[in-house]
């Protein structure tokens, strides 16, 4: 090998070039994908106006142009702050967000009186508010990218964030009903004219804590085990934390009357444990615990009632929505009918009757959109979600530290689980629960929290794809101060 | 609006939606298929630009197969991680600011480093507690690392790949 050292010199320079090619930032690909996505959003807006107003107003492009400006800003921020971040994440999210704004604007058009339809201002109505929320969310995400130059730095605040997460989850449960309950689920905090859904932000905070905790505990969780039926089961005392999270998620189920949120937190934890330990037994334990708990809640709801009653009703609606199609089952039945009316290719943007669906701007946005773009279009949307999740998992694979792996993997999984919970609920696969559809649903909390998740994924994927020796003399490590400073605290952070 | 225009626009929109999906897939294609190949980590050494399919790079890379372009973790918690090698040295250890942060019970905060010199990579132990091994031999001074020979640190194994 030493003999090969001299001839290896020229290949090394050639190889350096190929190394640079491998590690190219691909920001231009991101830009063109983003423009394509925005063209789709503009086309959607034009088609909605053509169908609802019978004419395309000269200002149809204004919302799409506003969105384009916002996302181009984000693109520039990424170009400077995270140049090696994943090129597919931003355009995919931008398309979903843009179509969400477009659909909400379409609802405003349908709601408005025919005379004032054409004069609907850009920032008016649900669609306009969503546009404003998008602007704020993207600014927040850009701010997070700017503040967090290295994803490992947030592991310093893991315990603080964990505590904050639990407080955020529990807050609606302890607040009086008048401040927190909407449609039977206590998930909100109402302050003044605003309603905030603190659980959305809790996801990110809790995941940082889970990832940090598991990096420290993965050895004991994955190595100490009993072997039974060919699967390694953990020791009884190591089950402690997972049981604690299970109890918390069941408390959420009972006191906030929301299966989706509870499933989301518990699934998030189990998936992160699984990623950390690579033990299938944790998945089995998680599934058994959750289904056992949910069944118990169902049985208790039918016999004892009380706090379990809401869950029992939801399960009953799920089992047979047509038993009471005009009252309790109304929403689900209308959603199913909308999806059925849409059929394979849908009624065309603007061609459906989304106003028949209760909560169409929120939980049922997927059914509302589905009626207009059909199965063909819905599967494209689901594919886009799938791609976002895949990019998140890919970032987890590529990044070089355990904390980043767990954080990105957990966030990507959470996003997937949330889409599953709400789309599964609408299509009657699982009991319907009030989850927001990420990036589509109206609502600032959800949009902000999900954009923050995307910012973290962008940061992690940037760290993972960044070449060790940067292009053009850039150092691989983000400029976060001298190594000594980093060295002090975080070494003990990562220690198992 | 004539019905025909609306119908054409409707289907055009759906097709455009799918075109977007496939364009995204096209952009990330290399990564998508890279996953399938990383499954067989012990297989024959791979080359860097393989999946881009540049015909010009293909014949050349057989000749220059000697230079290491990637550092791949083959065993341990970070198994499957790959680092594209450049001109800079690679530090390995538990310290947060290492290039490769390994959370291994048997690793020191600053365990070892890999340094390139004239196209050849050298491994150097940085006074670790449990030592660095090149294949079976303990590393005492800067030692040249051949391609495909495992560097062992605690439970973690690393290899240079072309």
Instruction: Out of A142-156, A387-401, A460-474, pick the least confident.
Output: A460-474
Distance (Å) from the alpha carbon of A141 to chain B's nearest alpha carbon: 22
> Are A103 and A440 spatial neighbours (Cβ–Cβ below 8 Å)?
yes
The pLDDT of residue B100: 83
Contacts of A496 in chain B (CB under 8 A): 103, 105
- Say yes or no: A7 contacts chain B, CB-CB below 8 A: yes
- Residue B73 pLDDT > 50, yes or no? yes
The pLDDT of residue A70: 92
Residues contacting A420, CB < 8 A, separation 6+: none
Percent of chain A past pLDDT 90, that is, above it, reads 22
Would you place residue A169 in the very low, low, confident or very high pLDDT band (cuts 50, 70, 90)? confident
The pLDDT of residue A410: 92
Report the complex ipTM: 0.81
Residue closest to B160 by CA, chosen among B138, B130, B135: B135
- Residue B126 pLDDT > 50, yes or no? yes
- Work out the average pLDDT over B124-141: 86
Percent of chain A past pLDDT 70, that is, above it, reads 79
- Say yes or no: B27 contacts chain A, CB-CB below 8 A: yes
- Residue A478 pLDDT > 60, yes or no? no
The pLDDT of residue A353: 84
Would you place residue A315 in the very low, low, confident or very high pLDDT band (cuts 50, 70, 90)? confident
The pLDDT of residue A384: 95
- Say yes or no: B143 contacts chain A, CB-CB below 8 A: no
Would you place residue A351 in the very low, low, confident or very high pLDDT band (cuts 50, 70, 90)? confident
State which H helix or E strand residue B72 sits in.
Answer: strand B70-75
Collapse the DSSP code of A334 into the 3-class scheme (helix H, G, I; strand E, B; otherwise coil) and give the result. helix
CB pairs under 8 A between A and B: 204
- Residue A142 pLDDT > 80, yes or no? yes
**Contact state of A88 with B80 under an 8 Å Cβ cutoff:** no
Q: What is the pLDDT of residues B24-59, one digit of tens each?
A: 998 887 665 554 444 333 333 334 433 444 333 343
Residue with the two structure tokens 């959470």: A414
CA distance A265 to A250: 10
Contacts of B101 in chain A (CB under 8 A): 400-402, 494
Q: What is the pLDDT of residues A201-239, one digit of tens each?
A: 888 888 888 888 888 777 666 666 666 666 666 666 666
A 239-298: CB under 8 A from B: none
The pLDDT of residue B21: 93
- Work out the average pLDDT over A432-444: 84
The token pair at B79 is 């198994």
Residue closest to A84 by CA, chosen among A493, A482, A488, A477: A477
Q: Chain-wide mean pLDDT for chain A?
A: 79
The token pair at A170 is 């529990």
CA distance A420 to A366: 12
- Residue A6 pLDDT > 60, yes or no? no
Of residues B52, B83, B95, nearest to A400 (C-beta): B83
- Work out the average pLDDT over A1-14: 39
CA distance A492 to A156: 10
Q: Which residues pair with B158 in a beta bridge?
A: B73, B151
Q: Chain-wide mean pLDDT for chain B?
A: 75
């Amino acid at each position: 090998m030493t003999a090969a050292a001299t001839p290896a010199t020229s290949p090394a320079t050639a190889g350096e070039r190929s190394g640079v090619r491998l590690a190219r930032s691909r920001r231009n690909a991101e830009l063109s994908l983003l423009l394509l996505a925005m063209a789709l959003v503009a086309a959607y807006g034009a088609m909605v106006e053509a169908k609802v107003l019978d004419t395309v107003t000269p200002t149809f492009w204004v919302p799409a142009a506003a969105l384009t400006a916002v996302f181009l800003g984000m693109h520039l921020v990424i170009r400077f702050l995270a140049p090696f971040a994943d090129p597919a994440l931003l355009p995919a999210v931008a398309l979903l967000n843009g179509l969400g704004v477009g659909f909400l604007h379409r609802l405003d058009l349908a709601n408005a009186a025919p005379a004032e339809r054409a004069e609907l201002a850009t920032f008016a109505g649900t669609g306009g508010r969503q546009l404003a929320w998008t602007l704020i969310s993207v600014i927040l995400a850009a701010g997070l990218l700017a503040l967090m130059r290295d994803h490992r730095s947030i592991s310093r605040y893991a315990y603080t964030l964990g505590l904050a997460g639990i407080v955020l989850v529990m807050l609606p449960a302890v607040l009086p009903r008048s401040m927190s309950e909407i449609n039977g689920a206590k998930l909100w905090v109402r302050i003044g004219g605003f309603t905030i859904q603190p659980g959305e932000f809790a996801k990110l905070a809790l995941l940082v804590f889970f990832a940090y905790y598991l990096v420290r505990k993965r050895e004991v969780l994955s190595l100490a085990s009993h072997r039974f039926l060919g699967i390694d089961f953990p020791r009884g005392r190591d089950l402690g934390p997972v049981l604690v999270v299970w109890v918390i998620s069941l408390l959420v189920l009972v006191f906030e009357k929301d299966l989706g949120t509870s499933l989301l937190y518990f699934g998030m934890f189990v998936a992160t444990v699984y990623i950390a330990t690579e033990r299938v037994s944790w998945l089995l334990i998680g599934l058994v615990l959750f289904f056992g708990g949910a069944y118990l809640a169902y049985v208790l709801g039918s016999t004892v009632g009380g706090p379990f009653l809401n869950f029992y009703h939801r399960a009953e609606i799920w089992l047979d929505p047509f038993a009471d199609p005009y009252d309790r089952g109304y929403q689900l039945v209308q959603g199913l009918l909308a999806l059925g009316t849409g059929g394979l290719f849908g009624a065309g943007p603007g061609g459906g009757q989304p106003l028949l669906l209760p909560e169409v701007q929120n939980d049922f946005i997927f059914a509302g959109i589905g009626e207009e773009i059909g199965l063909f279009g819905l599967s494209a949307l689901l594919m886009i979600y799938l791609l976002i999740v895949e990019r998140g998992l890919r970032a987890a694979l590529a990044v070089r530290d355990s904390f980043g792996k767990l954080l990105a993997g957990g966030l990507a999984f959470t996003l997937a689980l949330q889409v599953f919970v709400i789309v599964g609920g609408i299509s009657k696969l699982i009991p319907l629960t009030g989850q927001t559809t990420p990036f589509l649903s109206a609502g600032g909390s959800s949009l902000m929290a999900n954009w923050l998740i995307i910012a973290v994924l962008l940061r992690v994927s940037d760290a993972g794809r960044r070449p060790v020796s940067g292009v053009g003399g850039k150092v691989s490590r983000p400029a976060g101060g001298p190594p000594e400073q980093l060295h002090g605290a975080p070494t003990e952070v990562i220690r198992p | 609006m004539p019905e025909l225009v609306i119908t054409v626009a409707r289907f055009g929109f759906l097709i455009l939606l799918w075109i977007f999906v496939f364009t995204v897939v096209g952009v990330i294609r290399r990564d998508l298929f890279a996953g399938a190949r990383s499954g067989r980590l012990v297989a024959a050494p791979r080359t860097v630009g393989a999946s881009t399919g540049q015909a010009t790079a293909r014949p050349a890379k057989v000749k220059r197969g000697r230079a290491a372009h990637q550092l791949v973790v083959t065993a341990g918690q970070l198994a499957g991680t790959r680092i594209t090698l450049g001109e800079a040295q690679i530090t390995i250890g538990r310290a947060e600011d290492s290039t490769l942060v390994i959370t291994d019970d048997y690793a020191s905060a600053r365990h070892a480093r890999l340094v390139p010199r004239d196209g050849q990579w050298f491994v150097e132990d940085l006074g670790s507690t449990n030592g660095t091994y090149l294949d079976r031999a303990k590393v005492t001074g800067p030692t040249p690392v051949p391609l495909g020979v495992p560097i062992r640190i605690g439970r973690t194994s690393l290899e240079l790949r072309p």
